[in-house]
Every structure is written in structure tokens, then in C-alpha cells.
Structure 1
Amino acid sequence: MRLCSIASGSSGNCIYVGDDQTHLLVDTGISKKRIEEGLAKLEIKGDELEGILITHEHVDHIQGLGVFSRKYEIPIYATPGTIAGIRNYKKLGNLPDGLLHEVEVDQPFSLGTLNIDPFAISHDANEPSGYRIDNGKKAVAVATDLGIYDDYTVEHLKDLNAVVLEANHDIHMLEVGPYPYPLKRRVMGDKGHLSNELSGKLLCDILHDDLQYVVLGHLSKENNYEELAYETVRLEISIGDNPYKGNDIPMMVAKRDQVSDIIAL
């Protein structure tokens, strides 16, 4: 399997997951042109995609969906609540008939050679979900936009070989930063975003010897920066109640406007 971040951050998100036979996107929160450029680096064309998985209907996750789906007519999969949100977002324009497919959390389904397990996440959207994806040999997951996590979340992220995990903000930067108070409360709330510290603590619960790569994603432009997220998460691993140190786990920070290295499992 392969995993690649085409874009990740509060201004737009798009992740590629696939193997030799089946190619998927998780979210299309950037322009069609940028999606195509990212896929080109993977030597994949838009019409070779098997499906697009949408985590929720916020603009930084669906911004390019209308233009991209009209050109390539790739099936779109999302929870009923997310599909309702997509339909209500008028700036997308009309989507081709029959492209939207409802999926339910905790109801796995298959696309080509890949098995997909949608799981619920805590965020202020209609019916948001993360996705765990495997091909019977390797498993990856995309888990961003979650204000809190619990045993349910941990269970869905166990035994992965790679994960895209949110490290959205540094708490101190958020507290003293430019956001108005209600927005600060929203970001820090149970339906907001995962801080660097909580991202590290969640990782401590899912680390195992076969976790080959961690991609920290969805960083806030105003309340975080790459080095801080990276070092904070590594520190949490080192001081956490687990047998690992921060340097034991290969880790990268997904960039807002650059395609990441391709993780081949």
C-alpha cells in the first residue's frame, strides 16, 4: 500500500491511499489543478481513481469536489450527514447524478482491493468520520478533525502500519493568538481539533512495532508550526506510558502546500 499527503492543513486537505490496483482520495479540499498535480507525482490520472472518501462537509475538505467530480465522475462516499452537508454547500455546483454514495460508520465496505472501515469522530460537522483502509496485508488510517478521542477511537487506530493523525494546534499559541475567544473555545472544545499534546498522547495508545510511519496533519496556520508539532508529539511519546521513545517512530509533518514523500508499505 501507499500513502501520500497531497495537501494538509486548515486551508485544504487531500490524502491519497492506494495499492497497485485501487486508488482512493480522502477529501478534496483543494483545487482540481492541485489535486491533479499531486496525483501526477504519484503517476496516477484522475480517471484511475476508484473513489473519493469524504470525512465531513467543511470547506477545507470538499472545496475541489465539485469541479473534480464533474470532470472525472469518480464515485463519492460519505456518511448520510456529510452527504446532506455536501448537497447544501451551493458553491460546489451540481454534482453528476449517481456519484454520491452513503456509507455508515462501523459498517465496513470494499472498493476494488481495499477494505474501508468508516469510524465516527468528534467534530462540529453533521456526521464526520475517519477512515481505516486495508488491503488484507497492510492497514492505514486518516484521523483528523477530532476534538477528543476515546477508547472507540483507539480501537479503530490499533494495528496500523501508517496513520495520518491530526496535530492541529499548540495550546499556548492558540490561547495568546489572534483568534476571537469563541473560536478559541471551539478549536479547544470536544468537537474542535486535536492539540499537539493530545496527538502525542493518542499515539502512545496505538504504538506498536509494525507502525512504520506517522504523518502529522491538519496543522493550523495561525496556532502551530511544523517543528513545534513534531517535537511536542515526539516528547509525548518519550515521556508517555509506553516502551517507545520519540525517535523510535518514523514521523513527518504534512505540509499545507506541498505533496509529501510517498510512504510505501
Structure 2
Amino acid sequence: MMGAETVAAQPLRGGALLLAAALCLAGLVRREKQREAPLVPLDLLRVRSFRLSVVASVLCFTGQMAAAVALPFYLQHGLGQDIVTAGLFLVPWPLATAVAAPIAGRLSDRVGTGWLCAVGGLLLAAGLALAAVWPLGQDARPLLAFMVMCGFGFGLFQTPNNRNMLLTVPKTRSGAAGGMQGTARLVGQTAGAVLMTVLFSLLSGPETAPRLGLALAAALTLAGGLTSLLRVPPRGAAEAVEAVEAPAPGR
């Protein structure tokens, strides 16, 4: 974070901090690979479906956080909304996520999680893309519909993706899978905040950085949805992990 904040104004210092961060990450990976009970369960990434879920989670949470940072600036400085109105414009997103999450949980019992995550990621990307390019002018009301689209897509993605992470590993490693799930979320959120920090440092204008941030967020969430499609078995076969690991009805 410190490197991203300073790299535009002080390239040498910012670059050195980012390089140090990369070296520390490489050292952590090397250290954890040699441990029987690693702090970061890198061995779980050998499971293809789990690995794809982690990648998709990082991408979608990066886009989600970039949008969460960009939207208030866009509403207040680009569209001239006051603080309260800007907050009200953001409310439909979490409400739609709350509605979509239980629906996605029920659908996960009938539809492959890869398909659900792909549809959710595509819906989230569409909402962000529309928010970035739609000519709102003095009427910001269409943004409410885009926020509903984003929230519903995010809820449709998150629940099945988390389910897949927990069901693709042995039950004895469920704690490690949950830890990796939280790590993927935080890595994505941090990356999204860093992305917007860099854009605000490099670009001027009340709309330029927020709208570009929303466009990049749309691209990232689209990539997350497409990554989820790689988990879809060929010829419509049921996902092996759900056939093996899913709990019996009523349990």
C-alpha cells in the first residue's frame, strides 16, 4: 500500500517498497512450502477446482473494492451529489447481495457452482461497465439499477464460489480452506484499493479516475466469471467434488 501511494510522486522509493513486498511474498511462499502445517496452505492450490475458485475470488473482490472506492468519488465529484444522496445510491448494492445470496445457496444444490459463479461475475461486470460508460448527465437515477445488478451478481457469485472452496478439499482441511478463502478476499480487496490509489495519483479530473476504475473493475470481475467457467465439467457432467463431498439431505 505504501509503495502504491508513493510510486507516482516518488518512483524510486515507491518501486523499492513494491520490490521489497514482492521479495517478502516470495520468501513467505518458499518458507511455507517446507512446513507440515503451513500458515498459508499453499498445498491446497494443487487442487484445480480450489485453485480456480481462489483466482476467481481474488479477481472479483479486486473489482468489488475498486468499485467501492470509485463510486463515492464519482457520485460526489463527478455527478455533484451530496454525501447523504451518494450513500443512498450505494444502498441497493448490499441489499441486492443479501437477496441473491440465499437464492444462490439454493441453486447450488441443483446447478453447478461454476455456472452460477460465471453468471454472477458476468452480471457484476455488466453493472460496473454500465456505471462506467452510461452518460448520466444530471440524472443519476439509472445508477440505482446498475447497483442492483452489481449487488445481485456479486451475491450470485460469492456464495457458490465459497461453497466450492470448502467442498473441494478433504474435510480435515476445511479450516485451512476457510483461511485461504479469507485470504483471497483480503488480497482482492487490498489490490482493489491499491488500484484506485494508483489511478487517483496518476489521473486528474473529478470523473476520470473513478470511471476508469469502474471500467477496470468490470474487466476484473468479467475475468473472475470467465475463470469460474473453467470449473464447468465437459458435456454437462456433474461436478465431481459435489458428488463426493456434498452432505446428505437434512444434514
TM over 0.5: no
TM-score of the two chains, using structure 1 as the length reference: 0.24
Higher relative contact order (CA 8 A, sep 6+): 2
Between Structure 1 and Structure 2, which shows a larger proportion of helix residues? 2
TM-score of the two chains, using structure 2 as the length reference: 0.25
Between Structure 1 and Structure 2, which shows a larger proportion of strand residues? 1
